[in-house]
Amino acid sequence: MQSVHESVHEATMREQFAATVTELLERDPRTALVLADIGVAQFPEAARAHPDRVVNVGIREQLLIGVAGGLALTGMRPIAHTFASFLIERPFEQLKLDLVHQGVGAVLVSAAGSYDWPAGGRTHMSPGDVALLDTLPGWQVHVPGHPAEADLLLRHAVAADDSLQYVRLSAHQNAEPRPVAPGRFLTVRQGSRTAGVVLAVGPMLDAVLEATETLDVTVLYAATVRPFDAAGLRAALGDRADVVLVEPYLAGTSERAAHLALDGLPHRVLGLGVPVAEHRHYGSIPEHLAAYGLDAAGLHARIAERLW
């Protein structure tokens, strides 16, 4: 059995999630994992060791969130997991009422995101998940770009008292992890005083770096988007406040947060991401990223047009 640290370079984010949460279940008796069939095969040892704290409700996503809320009402720290479509969109009223309105916390961990299984089609795509959570108070949203970042952010999310935490795992990832701190944007490339700023979120970083290699821009990296690090964005500005957001979910999701961060400054914000229109094609992740204009070539064209 590999340790977490030995395995991070090999693992996918979902495999890292299994390793990290198995360890947390072992260590912290407050934690409980709630599943709805998806992901069950990743937790055989934890389910054997902690049958009362690893609960599979079957294909019942309203119950998935209701059970998480009930566990939290008794003082436990629930971690609920399934694909984003079935974790955020399908039981959305349960998020609003069984968690937020009851005044209890939980850690929601999704997989599949916006485009992770393009051959699965629209039913398994959830580009609107972060925008939906923006309609509710209190959620912190983490979008790791690498399994090692997922490990760090999951530990942070579970340990964060009784807060509401969303960790958005993806099969799309960057080649290397970055030294992220929860809630803080990281400067990855420093442009000149006259440069604009590109904020790359989670798995978008590698494509953004490639797209901007020949451009004078400052590149910020966000593995946590809520809270939105307004101070970090303002600190990255040079002589002008021109900002491009590149997000692996619905285009423009963080535009409002960016406008608030830049309040009082003359500024321009361009939000790039997954288009709202249904994209009725199957295929692969790279094909979808190219179609959305989120590959390096597409990003280069749109960023260059905007910032120069």
Partner 1 sequence: MTSEATRTLGGGYTDLPRLISLMTGDEKHSPAANSTLDALWVLYDRVLDVHPGNVDVPDRDRFLLSKGHGPMAYYAVLAAKGFFPVELLHSFGAYDSPLGHHPDRLLVPGAEIGSGSLGHGLPLAVGTALGLRAQGLGRPAVWVLIGDAEFDEGSNHEAVAFAGAVGLERLHALVIDNSSATHGWSGGIAARFAGEGWSTATVDGRDHEQLYRAFTAPHPGRPHVVVARTEPKHG
138 φψ region: left (φ > 0), alpha (ψ -120 to 50), beta (else): left
Among 16, 20, 22, 94, binds partner 1 (CB under 8 A): 94
Query: Under rule CB under 8 A, which residues in 3-32 are in contact with partner 1?
Result: 29, 32
**DSSP designation for 26:** H
Judged by CB under 8 A, does residue 74 bind partner 1?
yes
Binding part of the chain for partner 1, among 53-61, 133-141, 171-179, 189-197 by CB under 8 A, reads: 53-61
Judged by CB under 8 A, does residue 76 bind partner 1?
yes
Among 41, 44, 49, 103, binds partner 1 (CB under 8 A): 103
Among 62, 171, 279, 302, binds partner 1 (CB under 8 A): 62
Judged by CB under 8 A, does residue 200 bind partner 1?
no
Judged by CB under 8 A, does residue 101 bind partner 1?
yes
Whether the CB-CB separation of 241 and 262 falls below 8 Å is answered with yes
Q: Kindly state the tokens that stand for 215.
A: 């451009």
Binding part of the chain for partner 1, among 38-46, 95-103, 180-188, 219-227 by CB under 8 A, reads: 95-103
Judged by CB under 8 A, does residue 69 bind partner 1?
yes
Among 19, 35, 63, 217, binds partner 1 (CB under 8 A): 63
Judged by CB under 8 A, does residue 97 bind partner 1?
yes
Burial class (CB within 10 angstroms; exposed 0-12, middle 13-18, buried 19+) of 93: exposed
- For partner 1, the closer of residues 29 and 121 by Cβ is 29
Judged by CB under 8 A, does residue 143 bind partner 1?
no
* Length of the chain as a residue count: 308
Among 2, 9, 49, 58, binds partner 1 (CB under 8 A): 58
C-alpha dist (Å) from residue 205 to 12, 90, 214, 249: 17, 29, 15, 14
Q: How many of the other CB atoms lie within 10 Å of CB of 308?
A: 10
One-character DSSP codes across 159-222: HSTT-EEEEE--S---SS-----TT--EEEE---TT-EEEEEEGGGHHHHHHHTTTS-EEEEEE
- For partner 1, the closer of residues 54 and 303 by Cβ is 54
- For partner 1, the closer of residues 12 and 56 by Cβ is 56
Query: Under rule CB under 8 A, which residues in 270-289 are in contact with partner 1?
Result: none
Amino acid, res. 105? G
The residues near 3 (Cβ < 8 Å, ≥ 6 apart) are: none
Judged by CB under 8 A, does residue 105 bind partner 1?
no
Number of residues that bind partner 1 (CB under 8 A): 30
What are 201's strand-pairing partners?
Answer: 222
Strand 186-189 to 217-222 pairing: antiparallel
* Shortest CB 74 distance to partner 1, Å: 3
Q: Give residues in contact with partner 1 (CB under 8 A).
A: 29, 32, 52-53, 55, 57-58, 60, 62-63, 65-76, 78, 93-94, 97-98, 101-103
